[in-house]
Amino acid sequence: MRSINKIIVHCSATREGQDISAATIKKWHVDGRGWSDIGYHYVILLDGQIEVGRPIIKSGAHTLGQNRNSIGICYIGGVEVDGKTPKDTRTEEQKKSLTNLIITLKSIYGEDVNIHGHRDFSNKACPSFDATEEYKFI
């Protein structure tokens, strides 16, 4: 098992209400960027369904310099309808699923696993909310 010390939360940077899947993101990453697979380990759909992305035993491709010891979770959304303004667009279902997934992953990988947003490691708004603050109770 990989040594995990971080869970990094992302958004897909898609318009509020735009329904896409992990398969769509995988296509963007593989066909558009030439990667071997989707960069995230999990993708949370608008209805809260959790889709598995990259196998958890493999390092992700979601946060430059942080992939080896982290798990990447992406929720669908993160941008206003205008397609460019960052916004926390998580549905109630996504919020519940994200919280439950983080709790489950911490129970597997240990209490020392820290929660971060992509923005903690990059000059980006992603995931369009402060994940470290929001999930500090976990």
**118 assigned to active site:** yes
89: which residues sit within 8 A by CB, 6+ positions away?
11, 16, 17, 77, 78, 79, 80, 128
pLDDT for the residue numbered 1: 66
Mean pLDDT for the chain overall: 96
Q: Which residue in 6, 10, 106, 116 is the catalytic one?
A: 10
| pLDDT, tens only, 115-125 | 999 999 999 99
**126 assigned to active site:** yes
At which residue do the structure tokens 């971080």 appear? 6
CATH number assigned to the domain covering 6-134? 3.40.80.10
Domain residue ranges in the chain = 6-134
125: which residues sit within 8 A by CB, 6+ positions away?
78, 86, 119
Q: Which residue in 75, 116, 126, 135 is the catalytic one?
A: 126
What is the percentage of the chain residues whose pLDDT exceeds 90? 98
Amino acid at 115: I
| pLDDT, tens only, 50-75 | 999 999 999 999 999 999 999 999 99
Q: Which residue in 40, 42, 75, 135 is the catalytic one?
A: 40
Cα–Cα distance for residue pair 138/125, rounded to 1 Å: 22
What is the percentage of the chain residues whose pLDDT exceeds 70? 99
**10 assigned to active site:** yes
**74 assigned to active site:** no
**109 assigned to active site:** no
* Residue 36 φ/ψ, nearest 5 degrees: -80, -20
Q: Which residue in 6, 41, 106, 118 is the catalytic one?
A: 118
| pLDDT, tens only, 20-39 | 999 999 999 999 999 999 99
Residue 2 above 90 pLDDT?
no
- Read off the pTM: 0.96
